[in-house]
Amino acid sequence: MARSSLTRRLGLHLGAHLGKRKGTAVDKGELLLGQRRIYILPTGPGLGFGALLLVLLIGSINYNLGLGYALTFLALSCAVVDMLLTWLNLAYLRLNPVRAPNVFAGQEASFELQLRDTSRRARYAIAVDIAAADATKTGEPRHAVDIPANGSTTVRLALPSETRGWLDAPRLTLSTRFPLGLFRAWSYWRPDARALVYPFPEEGAPPLPAASSSAADGAGHAGEDDFAGVRPYQAGDPLRRLAWRQIARLDPRDGGQLATKHFEGGARTELVLDLAALSPRLDLELRLSRMTRWVLEAESRALPYAFRLGAEQFDAANGVAHQAACLRALALHGLGGAR
């Protein structure tokens, strides 16, 4: 009874210890694979090799074969060395997430991960794969990489995106069977990386809304009260504002380009992209998808545009920073704590 109680107690202690290791093996951020984070078990061929050693040992004992003993223990020592080398092939690697570019819903998000060696041993045939729970959903193929001594290698894992918002990097499994394949060593890692998924731009969206006119004094004609100068032509500028005299003086072979007259004062036309202006009968995701299409179209035509999305309001502008701020607001709209 005492022996049974001791065995049960040891089993409970071992289960709790493994459970704790499994829970801490998915910590975020840079990770060093120490000895407490690596698991190792014999593979199918390893179990077969162990059975063969058992048969050799029984035969040697039964027939009292000296060479049989030598062969058995030589093969056993090779298996022990293989177990150590398999564990060392994964031990003390530094894992670090690099970047995850933003994508549109429906596209594949690419997570770039770095595996770096901190010793003077080269690492071979390390498989990086999405953990079993997620791999069944994505069908992501395995990536096998080699890492040079005191060097690093980069792995790119693709994960399909379905809805807008933040997409966290999946839980990964790093494993190896190098050199003989008798043992499999593995560890878990959840990279501290996430990609922002924008709404997918609506296909066949209506054209951009008409620019609104406004004036501080309620007067003015088309924003042409005061001539402010000449600026480079931008897509969407009316032809009647082209500065023909300046254009005639420029030689295209010398880098000349179209120029447009610029006016200030009076009424101003402003392109406003406002979610509230869309019909509330449309689905919210469809409206966000349409706003995404309009933002991309306005940027492609270099049209300054104001952006209104509930509490998110941006003055008229254009450029990479303005586009990124608008798309980020669209991606996180209504997601609350996801910001």
Q: What is the pLDDT of residues 278-322, one digit of tens each?
A: 988 999 999 999 999 999 999 988 889 999 998 889 998 888 999
Compute the half-sphere exposure of residue 51: CA atoms within 13 Å on the CB side of its CA: 6
Report the C-alpha gap between 197 and 205 in whole angstroms.
20
Secondary structure (3-state) at 150 = coil
Q: What is the pLDDT of residues 235-276, one digit of tens each?
A: 666 776 777 766 776 655 545 567 777 665 544 567 899 999
Task: Select the CATH number that applies to the domain covering 22-198 from these four: 3.40.50.300, 1.10.390.10, 3.40.50.720, 2.60.40.10.
Answer: 2.60.40.10
* Start-to-end Cα distance in the chain: 58
Instruction: Say what percent of the chain tops pLDDT 90.
Output: 52
Report the C-alpha gap between 339 and 334 in whole angstroms.
9
Asked if 184 contacts 175 with a C-beta cutoff of 8 angstroms, the reply is yes
pTM attached to this predicted model: 0.69
The packing angle between helices 66-88 and 44-63, to 10°, is: 160
CB atoms within 10 A of CB 203: 7
Q: Tokens standing for 205?
A: 């969206």
Task: Report pLDDT for 297.
Answer: 92
Kindly state the helix (H) or strand (E) to which residue 54 belongs, with its residue range.
helix 44-63
Task: Report pLDDT for 268.
Answer: 52
Q: What is the pLDDT of residues 33-55, one digit of tens each?
A: 998 899 999 999 999 999 999 99
Reply yes or no on whether the pLDDT at 198 is more than 50.
yes
* Spans of all domains in the chain: 22-198, 212-225+265-338
Task: Report pLDDT for 230.
Answer: 67
